[in-house]
Amino acid sequence: MRDLFLAVYLRDLRLALRRRVETLMPVAFFVVTASLFPLGVGPEPQVLRQLAPGLAWVCALLAAMLSVSQLFASDFADGSLEQMLLTGRSAVVIAAAKSAAHWTLSGLPLIAAAPLLGLLFDVHRDALGALLVSLLLGTPVLSLLGAVGAALTLGLRSAGVLLLLLVLPLTIPALIFGTGAVAAVDAGLSPGGHFSILGALLILTALTAPVATAAALRISLE
Amino acid sequence: MTERFRWFTFAAPARFHALAGRLIPWLWAAAAPLAAAGLYMGFFVAPTDAQQGESYRIIFIHVPAAWMSMVIYLAMAFWAAVGWMFNARMAFMLAHALAPTGALFTFLALWTGALWGKPAWGTWWVWDARLTSELILLFLYLGYIALVAAIDDVRRGDRAGALLAIVGAVNIPIIYFSVRWWNTLHQGATITMTAAPKMATTMLTAMLLMTFAFWAYTFAVVFMRARALVLERESHADWVRDLATRSRTREEQS
C-alpha cells in the first residue's frame, strides 16, 4: 500500500518537474490575482491589512480549483488512469497519492508565496504566522475535495466551471475557519480553536475524500 | 390480502408511473385549498405583530419554504443513497426530480428573507450564519443539477449525481456548526423564534397550513417530474409504447 502510494506520488512529481512552467501556474495565478486587489479596492494600508487573510484564502481556493481540474485529465486522456485502476490495486490509495501530489505541487508553493503577500499587504507578523498555519492545515483539504470534483467532472464539457460549482460550497468551512484564525489573532484572541477545527476538517476529508474520489473515478471510467 | 406486501413494488417504473398518475390530482386538490386557507389566515386573520407591524407576514411563506429547502435536500440525498445501494433506477429518478423543487424553495426562502430583511433590518442581505448556510445550500442544489445535466450518459449521470448529493449531505452538519462559531465573531442579527414575541395560535395554524400546502405541492410536482423522467428513460419499453398507442386511439375517438 505504501509502495503504491509512493509510486503514484513520485510519478506525479516527476511528471510535474518535466513541465515546470505549467507547474508554476497556480502560484503565478495566486500572486497576480492578489496583486489586483490593491488596484481594485484602493491602496489604503488599513483596508488592505484587514482584507489580506480572506484574500489570501480566496485566491488559494481559486488557484487550487484551477490546477486540480488537470489532476486526472492527462492520465485519463492517454489511458494510464484506466490502467492504474485495472491493476486491481486500491483506487483509494491512488486517489490519495494523487491528491497529495497535487497539494505538494500547488499548496506548498502557495504557502511559500504567502509571506510575500503579507509583505505587500502589510500584515502583522503574528497574523501572518496564523495565516501560514491556517493555510498549511487548510490547503490539503482543498486538494482532497478538489480531487473529488475533478474525478466527477472527468471528460465533461465545461468541466472547469462545473468543478468550481461543485467544490466551492464544500470548501466553505475551511475558508471560514482559516480566515477566522487570522481574525482571532488580530482581535488578540488565541487562534487555537480555529486550528483545532481546521485539523479536524483535514482528518475528516483525508478519511472520506479519497474514498469518494475513487468511487467517482470508477463512475467516470465505466 | 393474501399476498405479502413487498417493499419494492413501486420501484418498478411502470407501477410507479401508474400510482403517481393516480395520486397527482389528489395532491393538487390538497395543495390548492391548503395554500388558499394558509394565505388567507396568514394575511387577513393573524394579528398584526406588535414589533414588526405587517411586514412579518412574509414568514408564512418564508419559514415553510426554508423548512422544505432542507428537508428536500435530505430526501434527495436519501434517494441517492438508496439508488446507490440497491442500484434502483426509480430512486435515482426521484432524486433528480427533487432537486429543482428543492432549489426553488431555497431560492424562495432567500428571496422572501431579503424582502423581509429590508423593512426589519434595513438591508436586503446580511452575511449572517443562517443566510449564508442557506445560500450554500442553493449552490449545492445548483451543482447537483448542473452535474447531472452535463453528463449525457444516464447511468454515469445518476451515479455521479448521487455521489455528489451524499457528499453534500455530509457537509450540512459542518455548515451548521461552522455557522455557530462564525456567529460568535460576527455578532450579526439572528432570526430566532424565541426572539419574537410569543406566537399567536392563528399564526402557528397559518404557518402549519402553508407547510402542508408546500408538502402537497412538492409531492405533486416531484411526481409529475418523475413521471416525465420515467417515460423519457423507458421509451424503449413495451408498456410505454402501449401507453402511447392507447392515448392516441383515445384522441382519435374523441
**Tell me, what's the ipTM?**
0.83
Query: pLDDT value at position B181?
Result: 57
Using the Cβ of A81 and the Cβ atoms of chain B, whether some distance falls under 8 Å is answered with no
Residue from B159, B143, B59, B46 nearest B109 by CA: B59
CB B110 within 8 A of CB B131: yes
Q: Residues of B with CB below 8 A from A158's CB?
A: 150
Q: Given A162, A168, A184, which is nearest B139 (Cβ)?
A: A168
* Contact criterion met (CB below 8 Å) for B81 and B90: no
Report how far residue B89's alpha carbon sits from residue B160's, in angstroms, rounded to the nearest whole number.
14
Residue type, B188: G
Measure CB to CB from residue B164 to each of A152, A156, A168 and give the nearest one: A152
> Would you list the domain boundaries of chain B?
12-43+56-188+198-244
| Chain A environment of B170 (Cβ under 8 Å) | 208
CA dihedral B143, B144, B149, B151 (to 10 degrees): 100
Nearest CB to A172: which of B146, B175, B185?
A: B175
- pLDDT reading at B240 higher than 50: yes
Long-range (24+ apart) CB contacts under 8 A made by B13-22 are B13/B89, B13/B90, B13/B93, B13/B230, B13/B233, B13/B234, B13/B237, B14/B234, B14/B237, B14/B239, B16/B90, B16/B226, B16/B227, B16/B230, B17/B227, B17/B230, B17/B231, B20/B223, B20/B224, B20/B226, B20/B227, B21/B227
- The per-residue pLDDT for A220 is 87
**Rounded Cα–Cα distance for residues B84 and B90 (Å):** 11
A189 touches chain B (CB under 8 A): no
List of E strands, B62-187: none
Q: For residue B5, name the pLDDT band (cuts at 50, 70, 90).
A: low
Query: In the predicted model, what is the mean pLDDT of residues B190-208?
Result: 64
User: Any idea where the domains of chain A sit in the sequence?
Assistant: 1-220
Strand, helix or coil for residue B254: coil
Q: Is-contact A149 A68, C-beta < 8 A?
A: yes
Nearest-CB residue to B151 (from A156, A170, A208): A156
Residues B44-102: tens digit of each pLDDT: 887 777 666 777 788 888 888 988 888 899 999 999 999 988 888 889 999 999 999 99
Q: Is the distance from CB of B174 to CB of A207 less than 8 angstroms?
A: no
State pLDDT tens for residues B48-59. Answer: 776 667 777 888
User: Are residues B163 and A215, on separate chains, in Cβ contact within 8 Å?
Assistant: yes
Q: Is the pLDDT confidence value at B190 over 60? A: no
Residues of A in contact with B147 (CB under 8 A): 152-153, 162, 166
Looking at residue B7, its pLDDT comes to 61
* pLDDT tens digits along B153-188: 888 899 999 999 998 887 666 656 655 655 544 334
Distance CA B179, CA B183 (A): 6
Chain A residues inside the 8 Å CB shell of B174: 173, 201
Q: Which residues, listed in sequence order, are joined to residue B49 by a DSSP beta bridge?
A: B53
- Per-residue pLDDT of chain A (222 residues), as tens digits, is 788 899 999 999 999 888 888 888 889 998 899 888 888 888 888 888 888 888 889 999 999 988 898 889 888 889 888 888 888 888 999 999 999 999 999 999 999 998 888 888 888 888 899 999 999 999 999 999 999 999 999 888 888 889 988 998 888 888 888 888 888 888 888 888 899 999 999 999 999 999 999 999 998 887
Residue B188 pLDDT: 40
Torsions phi, psi for B53 (to 5 deg): 70, -140
- Output the nine-digit C-alpha cell for A113: 508565496
Q: How far apart are CA A69 and CA A71, in angstroms?
A: 6
- CA distances to A164, B93, B231, B243 from B11, in Å: 34, 10, 14, 19
Q: Which residue has the cell 479596492?
A: A41
CB contact burial B179-215 (16+ within 10 A = b; e otherwise): bebbeeeeeeeebeeeeeeeeeeebebbbebbbbbbb
The confidence score (pLDDT) of residue A1 equals: 78
Q: Which member of A165, A201, A212 has the closest CB to residue B142?
A: A165
How many CB atoms neighbour CB B153 within 10 A? 12
Residue predicted with more confidence, A218 or B199: A218
CB A73 within 8 A of CB A183: no
Interface test with B, best of A172, A205, A213 (most B CBs within 10 A): A172
CB contact under 8 A, A169 and B163: no
What is the pTM (predicted TM-score) of this model? 0.85
pLDDT of residue B234: 84
